[in-house]
């Protein structure tokens, strides 16, 4: 009896695009285990952590932990959803290689949304952040936007719907 190749659903998109909403929908549809690193950070540090001078360190460490956990799931032969953002092409290329190297199939989804709509959502929800979202003001949004590289068509990423 051959073992089914596990699938890694990789969710990419910018802040406020609706990545986690899409990841939750995908979780229900596929039964894959969802790993949303932002939820981990918020559970540990709260949702007002983004202005902390150590936020980048916390984010990097939790991201590494979440990815390690996602790869353990894949190595166990289970499907996983990696809900992280993958803002730059080099991150997307790197995670794709790692997924293939553990014998899993990568399927990338891009949660596309206009910059104005994302900024509007983020500012609105930051006024009274829900328990699963960060508080991010307009200035922070603009600062982060400088790092955003939307996927190009040749990357072969599916558009989330």
Check if the beta carbon of residue 7 is closer than 8 Å to that of residue 103. Answer: no
Q: Is the pLDDT of residue 48 over 90?
A: no
**pLDDT interval class at 21 (50, 70, 90):** very high
- pLDDT, tens only, 89-126: 999 999 999 999 999 999 999 999 999 999 999 988 88
The DSSP H or E segment spanning 136 is none
CATH code of the domain occupying 7-159: 3.40.50.300
pTM confidence score: 0.91
Q: Residue 81 in 3-state DSSP?
A: strand
At 118-156, the pLDDT tens digits run 999 998 888 877 677 778 888 889 999 999 999 998 999
């Amino acid at each position: 009896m051959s073992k089914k190749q596990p699938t890694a659903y990789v969710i990419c998109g910018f802040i406020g695009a609706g990545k986690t909403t899409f990841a939750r929908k995908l979780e229900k549809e596929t039964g894959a285990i969802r790993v949303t690193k932002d939820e981990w950070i918020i559970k540990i540090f709260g949702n007002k952590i983004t202005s902390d001078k150590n936020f980048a360190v916390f984010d990097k460490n939790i991201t590494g932990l979440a990815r390690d956990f996602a790869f353990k799931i894949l190595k166990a032969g289970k499907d996983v959803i990696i809900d992280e953002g993958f803002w730059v092409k080099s991150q997307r290329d790197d995670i794709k290689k790692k997924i293939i190297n553990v014998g899993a199939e990568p399927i990338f989804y891009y949660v596309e949304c206009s910059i104005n709509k994302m900024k509007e959502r983020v500012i609105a929800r930051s006024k009274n952040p829900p328990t699963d979202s960060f508080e991010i003001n307009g200035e922070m949004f603009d600062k982060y936007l400088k790092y955003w590289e939307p996927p190009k068509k040749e990357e072969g990423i599916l558009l989330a719907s």
